[in-house]
Structures are given as C-alpha cells and as structure tokens.
Amino acid sequence: MLCALTAAGPAPDPAPGRTAAPASAVTTVAATPGSTTPLSGYAVQSTARVADTPAAVSSPGYRTGGWYPAGRRSTVLAALLARGTYPDPFYSTNQQRIPAKDFTAPWWFRSDFVVADTTARTLLDFSGVISAADVYVNGRRIATAAQVTGAYTHHELDVTALVRAGTNTVAFLIRPNNPHKHLTAGWLDWLQPPPDANMGIVRDVLVRRGGPVALRDVHVVTSLALPSLGSAELTVKAEVRNDSAVPVTARVSGAVDAAHASFRQDVTLRAHERRTVAFTPASHPQLRLGSPRVWWPAGMGGQELYGLRLTATVSGTLSDTATQSFGIREVRAPLNRDGARQYSVNGRPLLVRGGGWSPDEFLRWDRGYVEDRLKYALDLGLNTLRLEGHIEPDEFFDLTDRYGILTLPGWQCCGKWEGQVNGTEAGEPWEEEAYPVAAASMAAEATRLRGHPSVASFLIGSDFAPDARIEKGYVNALRAADWRTPVVSAATAASAPLTGSSGMRMTGPYDWVPPGYWYDKREGGATGFNSETSAGPSIPTLDTLRRMMSPTELDTLWRDPSARQYHRSPSRTFGTLKLYGEALGTRYGAPRSLEDYVRKAQLAQYENVRAQFEAYARNAKDVDRPSTGVVYWMFNSGWTSLHWQLLDRHLDQGGAYFGAKKANEPLHVQYSYDDRTVAVVNRRHAPASGLTARVTLFTPAGVPKYDRTVRGISVAGDGARTTALTLPAAVAGLPATYLARLVLSDGAGRETSRNVYWLSTRPDVLDYAASDWYHTPTTGYADLTGLRSMAATPVSAKAVTTTASGTSTTTVTLRHAGTGSTPALLTDVHLVDGRGVPVLPVRWSDNQVSLWPGESTTLTASYRTADLRGSAARLRISGWNTPVTTVPAPAHRGSTGHRAAELPRSRPRRMS
C-alpha cells in the first residue's frame, strides 16, 4: 500500500513531443439523468514545454505524447512522482533535488470523455483546483482563472451546447500556487513544503447528466429531542432548478431509508427559475420520527446513519436524482463559566481528546491508507481530529461518520486566509477580490460538510479571528447552508463580532516540556480547551528512522542535537532538536549510540504523551477551571518526520503511540505528577464500583519500598474521576530514580488497568516567567539516570497466529524470564515478516508493557494477512532492559479459511 504513495525511483524525464509512451485519459460518461461520472485521469504538462494554443490543446484528437499521466485527483508533483521522475522525496534530502523552477509556469491538465447521447444536459461539477485555472471544453474557454480560483470554491459549468457525440475534451490551465497570496492551503512549519506548492486538481471533476430540471443543494436538517432522545424531526430541503428555456412542472419525490418515510410535491418553474422546496414535519408528519436511531461518537454508542433519495421527474420522465447519507445527532458547545468551550453530543458532555490531522504531503488520496490511520485514532482512544486547512474529500468524512470520529475542520493560519488580520505574520492582506472567494469557499464547504454527523464545528479562524467583514461573509454563507453545529471564531483565545469568544486557546507548547508541566493550570496545562499542543519532537522507531534518513544523518541525529534537522521543520524555531536533546541527555543520561538514543526517546515520549492526556482527563470534572478539550499537535505527519506525531509516516508505533493508548483506556488508573494522587478515570457511560487500587514503589532493581492497597472504590461514568489515594511526599530508602506500579482490579479480582511510571525524587523545575509561545524553559531536570542500572532481564514469548477472511490475529504470551528481582521495563513487541520488516498497520490490544518476576501477560495483534507478503509471522521482543530476541508466531492448524475461536486476553497479573 505505501509503495503507491512514494516514488518508485529515478526514471528518465520525457522530452517534448516524444510519442513512445502517450499519456491519455478517456472517461465514458453515463447517460442516465442524475448520473455523475468522475473524470478518470489527466495528461499533464508544463506550458513551458507546450507551444500549441489553448484551443488546440483542448480539442479532441490533440496528441499528448511526452505528457505525464495523472490520476483523477492529482497535484503536478504527485503525477511526476508516480512516473518516477524524482527519487523518493520522503528519504533524506531528496526533496531538495526537485527543481522548484519547474512549477513557476502554468500546467495543463487535459482529459477526454465520451458521450454517446447528447439529448441530456451535460455539466462539469468540480472544486479542489489549486490555485486557479482557465477551463476549456472542445477548444472553447468556458471559465477564466479569475472565476475558478481558490481550493475550496465550487463550480458547475453547463457545457451542453459544446458537447458532441463521441470524444470530448476538457482542459484546465492550472496556475501556480502560493498560499501566502491565494486562498488555498500550505504547510506552515509542519514539514518541508512540496516544490510545486500542491498545484493541481485534488478533488474529482464530475460530468453530470440531467434533464430539464436539476436538483441541487439537497440536504436534511435534523432536530433531536433532548434529553429524552425519544423523537426527532427531519426537514428535507432541495433547490429545484429549471435549466430549460420554457416553463415546466416537476414532481419532486423523496424517501428516507426507502419506504420508511416517503413524500412528494409538484413544483412549477418559469424558464431558468430556481426555487427551494422544503418538506417539513408540519406538512409531512411522516418526517417526525419516534425512537430515532441516534448517531454517537465512538465509545458513546452506535454510528447509525440514514439515507435520503430524491428524484425530479417531468411528465413522468426522470430528470435528476440525488442521494445523501445523514445522521441524527445534536452537537452543542456553549462556553462554561470560565469561558471555555464545552462540547456535548446528544446532551452528554465529553472531553475532546483529539489530534491534528495531516493529509499526504502531495495530497494523494488513498482510501485504505486513510482508513488505517482512522482505525489507529480509535485504537488510541481519541474521539476527535482537527483539520486546520487541508479539508479532506467527501470519502474522508464518510469514514469518520462510519467510525464515529468527530472532526473540527477550519481555515488555516499563517497564509492568505488570515493575511488581513494577522499583522506582520505570513500572508498577504486581502484585495477586494478575496472577499467573494472566501465567502464562496465557506458556502461550498458548509454545503458539503453539513450532512456529516461527524463534523462537530467549523473554525472560521485559526491563530486569528476574522474581522467583521470577513466574518459576516462566513456566517452568512453558513446560515444560508442551514449549518446547525457550532461556529467557532478561532482556535486561539480570540473573539469575533458575530460568533463571539472562541472558547479555545492556543498556548502551546510545541516543543519539549517535562511531564509535570501538563498538570499546572497555566500556559498549556490541563484547563479549558487547548486546540493544539504537545511536547514537540517525536522520534520514530529505529525501523522507520532507517527508512527515512541516511547513515550520516542518523549519526548526526544522536550526536548533535543542535544540528539542523531537515526532517523536523523548515522553521527556524523548530529546525533543531536542541531542547529535546538536552532534556533527554540530562534526564536519562547522554546517549551512547543511535540505538541507545532511540531507546531513551521511546521512554521519554511515552511518559510525556501519557501525562498530557492523563492531566486533561484528571481535570475534566474539576469545579474550578476544568479541562474541556485537548488536541495533540499532531496526530500524524504528511511525510517522514521527527516531530508532532503519535504515529509515523509508515504507520509504525512507538512510545508516543502507546503512551496515548495507555492514557485513554476506558477505565484507567493514573498517577498525578503535581500532587502525587492516584486517580481512577472512567470514560464508560456506566459507573463502576467495587474496584481495588494497589500502588507499589520499587527501586530500579525491583526492591519494593512502599505498598498500599485501597478497596471499595467507586467512580461515576462519562469521564468522571475519583481519587483512590495520595502517595507520601517521602518514602524511606527510595532512590533518586524509582518505579511506580499501579494496578486496578474489579470486584472479582480481575486486573482492568495497569500503569507503570518511572519517576524521580528530584523534580523537573519550570521557569514559567520565561515562557514564550512555543515552550516553558526547564531549569532543573528529574534524575532518571538510575534506569541505566537495571539488570538485563529476558522476556520469553510463545505465540500462535490464526487467520480468517484475510485478517490474521497473532496472540503472544510474554513472561518475565529473569532470575533476579529486576522488572522488565516497557517491553515492546513488534510483528515482523520473514525479512525482519515490521508488518504495518497492526493493532495491538496492549504493548510496551512492564513485567515483574513471576508475571506474564497475553497480547493480541490484528493485521491484514497480505501484509506478511507470503512469509510466516514473527515477533521481535525488545525493551528498556530486555535483550532483543525474535520468536516465530506459527499458524494455528486449521485456522485459514474459517473463523478461528477467539483466544482469551489477559493483562499482567502478579503471580504468587
């Protein structure tokens, strides 16, 4: 799968006029009224290499020898990478070798489509042009770049008069993109920006067929009874448009979930008249539903969806059809008494546990790759993804609807979108022509996103709120689209005249801070709604590092934290790993090799990410300044990166991933760095009672120094927290570095949560007075160097693999196999193929576990059987103090081709 997203290797660049390998894209268009056929692809070429006139280029029969083939959604550079014109841009500094000058001229995107029947009307329907384009059909220009501009504007062009029976041609003359000058999208400090600035067409261009009457703007407005959820009202709306030159009467008929609720209405329209038709519960009582199937975010309930089908007929002949999926749910986000935005879904408040979403750097759409990442988000216990700009195509939101992941789309900072309001920061001020483009962009995205139950808000500002004129354009467009979910003025602590205070804050940090930072209710600590924040660098696994960096770069990575790191950021602020390297070396000890550096990085990232989510969870129900939301910056990266990611480009999982997964367990026991309390957090809806919490403190050698058990613990549901106990300020005989093992058991004695911390009697010291926008300096570091003294401790593993319907499940039992008292800290299990390459993606029931003498645990890993590439599954066992071993995971006899029995899963339990 990933090979489709990276260049295959160097290949010769085609010369102008070369005809040996013609690039062609021909789409056969359906004749059925109401059909929409996406163009299947394009031939693309720079105007610097095309001397022919636009009329010639856009006429059928034009020879495209030497042009590049491109998919139906493609930037220029994506097409060149698919051809192998450049080496893998995700490796080392290869991207610097791509000449940016090749993208300073416009590029042609040309496609042929075949129409057999010209009696129906034919229209081109599209958005996603970056940055602007002149549009031609069969040699005639039908729109100018001044009209087709902006990545998010929507266009429908009637080409009926130009279309002929047989082959037709559409050609887009794409203008170069500059996100500082155009209302499109850029990459800020996330990654090294692509040399073509993503110029191209990144959404489908549809060829619509229809009769005299068209249905547009079809949508359902839902109203759910709260708090009972016992009924819901649906209002179905559509614009009915007469595209003919004579009056017509159209019958508009519809149904929700086929025969569940049907309705119809006759509409008489003058020539070229358009009218909005509404089917309401008052006029059609069947649109008032009892006991509706309610849509919930994952973990709160099911993801129920309804389907709407609408048709328009004229004199009994079908003229147009429209379908839409929608969910019934209510999202509200008022400001609490502290001014923080508090989201609730269907009347139940929730703590937003989110991550920042990134598409592929070259905006290549791969449904499978996107779906894999969304499943990872669920595996991590996240409930929300924030999309700052780069608002994904329709299929993305279909998937988030299905999986129950809330989304927070919005406009992007640090470019043209905020150029009018962000002072001296990047982005040019708006000229008069920008205002209608921005309003049209908002109208198009509102129309596209409003029916998706997973869309929880739209953020009309990011780092800055829009001014009154810009905001009015946005708000008017949202109102006209019947937008029902909250509109947020900014992702930062700002306000706008119509939408008011954002209720969010953007205090960072974006670079390294210690775990204890998150518990203070100041700067980026756990209070209110923090829209983007993390401790910055996230060093991938050694497997991924070797796939993305040269040996020389890897050597510099661990030896010189002050060196510029191409795979961190183009930003001067984030260009090095200096802060991270100083903290890692001081707290854990100076790295002695690349392997040692990566090993320490995984511990550091586990403890920090875990603390961030745990602190926000602990404070969510506080009476004073509760936390209401946190968006980890970021969930993933669009390229091979060294920062801002819970999972890496290749979908491998390290300390950051499993730290988040641990923190977001449904029923969870956790330690607080600030006040030494041990709390139980319950994210399930139902309360829990009869719980037992046991806390034991150990030296790194495994000698217990403190042990306490508390029974009869109860905790309410929906994110409630109860304090089980408070650890003493001092414990006799506890060394500077020590381990804390927390175990939560249910009434039957079954272990339901285990959490292991490595702590220090010497605290990290923060200088809050010197805080800036991206971090708070640390003036004193915790001493975790005692971990280096832990004796090497083997872990044995026995595994078996079962396979059914293309999915394999490997079950492994790990056992502490040492003879001394030292625990095996943060034992990692990697599923690998016969060559030792990680099998990805993979979803583990748990991982990076710690085992004490006599303990064992059983874990499961689920993955696609095909990703083994024909080899047998193997498991690579490693850990902080566990020597690396690899063991087979043989297939269970008789498992292939039928569903195998589910094997029991257990968590670590102290053995007698």
The residues carrying an active-site annotation are 463, 532
DSSP line for 489-536: S-SSS-EETTTEE---B-----S---GGGGGSSSTTSSSEEEEEE---
**Cα separation of 533 and 522, whole Å?**
13
Both tokens assigned to 245:
């030159």
> Is the C-alpha dihedral spanning 782, 788, 793, 798 positive or negative?
positive
Both tokens assigned to 829:
């299990």
Hey, what amino acid is at 233?
E
Residues ≥6 apart with Cβ < 8 Å to 881: 787, 790, 791, 792, 793, 822, 824, 825
HSE on the CB side for 551, CA within 13 Å? 0
Hey, what amino acid is at 456?
A
**Cα separation of 190 and 739, whole Å?**
35
Residues ≥6 apart with Cβ < 8 Å to 309: 254, 255, 258, 321, 322, 323
**Cα separation of 530 and 117, whole Å?**
56
**Cα separation of 81 and 103, whole Å?**
14
Both tokens assigned to 348:
């139940």
DSSP three-state, residue 479: helix
Nearest to 758 by CA among 788, 730, 791, 780: 788
CB-CB neighbours of 857 under 10 Å:
23
Residues ≥6 apart with Cβ < 8 Å to 362: 75, 77, 78, 81, 89, 194, 198
HSE on the CB side for 627, CA within 13 Å? 30
Both tokens assigned to 717:
């549901």
Q: Which residue has the tokens 């037992």?
A: 692
3-state SS record for 707-761: EEEEEEEEECCCCEEEEEEECCCCCCCCCCEEEEEEEEECCCCCEEEEEEEEEEC
Q: How do strand 487-488 and strand 458-459 relate by DSSP bridges?
A: parallel
Q: Which residue has the tokens 């006139």?
A: 53
Looking at residue 216, the DSSP 8-state letter turns out to be: E
- Cβ atoms of 735 and 786 closer than 8 Å: yes
Q: How do strand 331-332 and strand 274-279 relate by DSSP bridges?
A: unpaired
Nearest to 642 by CA among 563, 585, 589: 563
**Cα separation of 873 and 869, whole Å?**
10
- Cβ atoms of 804 and 895 closer than 8 Å: yes
CB-CB neighbours of 340 under 10 Å:
23
Q: Mark 874-906 as b/e (b = at least 16 C-beta within 10 Å).
A: bbbbbbbbbeeeeeebebbeebeeeebeeeeee
**Which residues are registered as beta bridge partners of 738?**
759
**Cα separation of 807 and 867, whole Å?**
10
DSSP three-state, residue 180: coil
